[in-house]
Homo-oligomer: A and B are copies of this chain.
Amino acid sequence: MNPASRTFERVAPERVAKALEALKDVLKEGQVKRDEASLDAYARDESDSGVYPPDVVLLPEDTAQVSAIFKACQAHGVPFTPCGARSGKSGGSLPLRGGVAVSLERMNRIRAISSEDLTAVVEPGVVTGDLMKAVEAQGLFYPPDPNSWEVCTLGGNVAENAGGPRALKYGVTRDYVIGLEWVMPDGEVLRVGRRTIKGVAGYDLVGLFVGSEGTLGVATEITVQLIPLPRQVMTALVVFPSVLHAARGVSAVLAAGILPRCLELIDEVAVQAIVHRGSFQFPTGTGAALIAEVDGNTPEGVFAELKQLGDLCEAQGATQTLVAQDASQRDRLWAARRVISPALRALKAAKISEDIVVPRSKIPDIIEQLKRMGADLGLTVATYGHAGDGNLHANILYDGPSQRPLVEEALRRMLELTVALGGTITGEHGVGHAKREYLALEQAPALLDLQRRLKAFFDPSGLLNPEKIFPALKRS
């Protein structure tokens, strides 16, 4: 069954009214939005998995207000769903049962950056790109770089444990979060984690909360560790005759002990989509490409590594390695990478995008199997993304609603093929609403049951961000 087509029982409006009544001395007028445009804006995200308007949007400005909102919702039985930039790709912030959308967007201050301690303290509504720029201005580096970094927020990154191209070398959000101020589902405020780089006192609740997709509480303050900004970065476009050649190039680079900071794959369909949009000129004969980015502290070391990478790829059939000569060439390469998703969308009436991961050695296998599956079903499959760590964004392009059953079939087959190769159904987008009915492909019933009980341990009423992550229980 297509989760996106499901409807959910909505909360009774009078309960929402009672919760708002309880909050009337807590929130100012501009912090409560009930107009049609607002409800519509908070009804959707970037997952294409439906439109689910909340009954009201609340915009808290501090931790005490977040806590008060949670308490009021619990007291009156109102579902409540946290959100940030609503740029998520799995429906994690969709208010499926209506109720309250709790947007953290106004808590957007960078509270501290310490170049001595190599840490930063931010509010959840800070845009990821704003933090990046602020720390880079001090010679520091916050590596996690979800493609939506220009709009997404740190709070959303924490909820989804966001990754990005640089995850290959530098890891994902959870590798940088060391401490959280956390509002529990019942409104209690806790500080978990630490301000130091290392620490093992007590259970690692930071580890549990990061990536909990807004179902176990919400961060109202985030402490991240930073690293020194690498002084040299070089970026290249490596051109291949086909995606299989490119996939073999990825394997050869990693097997040789090179760890670029990014190694992004662009397949035939994605190349054509970029060209079609006029965003980038690929050399004639480009069947597929890699964007490789290497960093370090000396220009010689970085150039030597990129040169070796190019040589290894050429041994696998690459026809050219074009090194960006300046910042504007480099920006153009990355702009081409970022345009893939909208460019693919322009090729057909509709598309769905998955973020599967396979063990790195299985990258050529999965690409081949997905192409074959697409051919079997008569659907176009585009594969691109963070090939270096096995995390591929596999897109199915289709003509519209009439093809949706076929697409559902393709999606299920894709996820089954992924799991059969030892992979996972989501590398960085989360399960949320979009993939909950597929989690059982990967996780055993006992594990699903444990996690459902853990959710109930933290949120016995189940009012916080309901109907997410775990498959719906069959009614008997």
Contact = CB atoms under 8 A, between A and B. Distances in A.
Contacts of A210: 204, 207
B254 A201 contact: no
A391 to B, nearest CB: 5
A423 interface: yes
A125 B212 CA distance: 31
A203 B454 contact: yes
Please state the number of chain copies in the assembly: 2
Interface stretch (A15-23, A93-101, A427-435): A427-435
Interface stretch (A147-155, A187-195, A278-286): A187-195
A229 interface: yes
Taking chain A's interface residues, is the majority helix, strand, or loop, or is none over half, making it mixed? loop
Nearest to A168: B197
Nearest to A227: B259
Interface in A415-437: 422-431
A226 to B, nearest CB: 11
Contacts of A116: 251, 254-255, 359-361
Given A197-B389, A301-B301, A360-B197, A203 B192 contact: no
20 contacts: A115-B255, A116-B255, A116-B360, A117-B360, A118-B254, A172-B198, A192-B447, A195-B359, A197-B391, A200-B429, A200-B430, A200-B431, A204-B207, A205-B451, A297-B301, A297-B304, A297-B305, A298-B301, A300-B300, A457-B457
A199 interface: yes
A385 B471 CA distance: 48
A114 B200 contact: no
A273 to B, nearest CB: 24
Contacts of A426: 199-201
Nearest to A212: B203
A298 B171 CA distance: 23
Contacts of A403: none
B447 A202 contact: yes
A198 B300 contact: no
A342 interface: no
A390 interface: yes
Interface range on chain A: under 10, 10 to 19, 20 to 34, or 35 or more? 35 or more
A361 B163 CA distance: 29
A208 interface: yes
B195 A422 contact: yes
Contacts of A251: 116
Contact of A198 (B118, B259, B301, B390): B390
Interface string A437-458: 0010011101110110110010
Given A116-B254, A199-B424, A203-B451, 15 more contacts: A163-B198, A167-B198, A171-B175, A190-B446, A195-B422, A196-B389, A198-B386, A198-B389, A198-B427, A200-B428, A201-B439, A201-B443, A204-B208, A296-B296, A296-B301
A404 B248 CA distance: 64
Given A161-B204, A204-B161, A228 B199 contact: no
A172 B212 CA distance: 22
Given A255-B116, A454-B457, A198 B139 contact: no
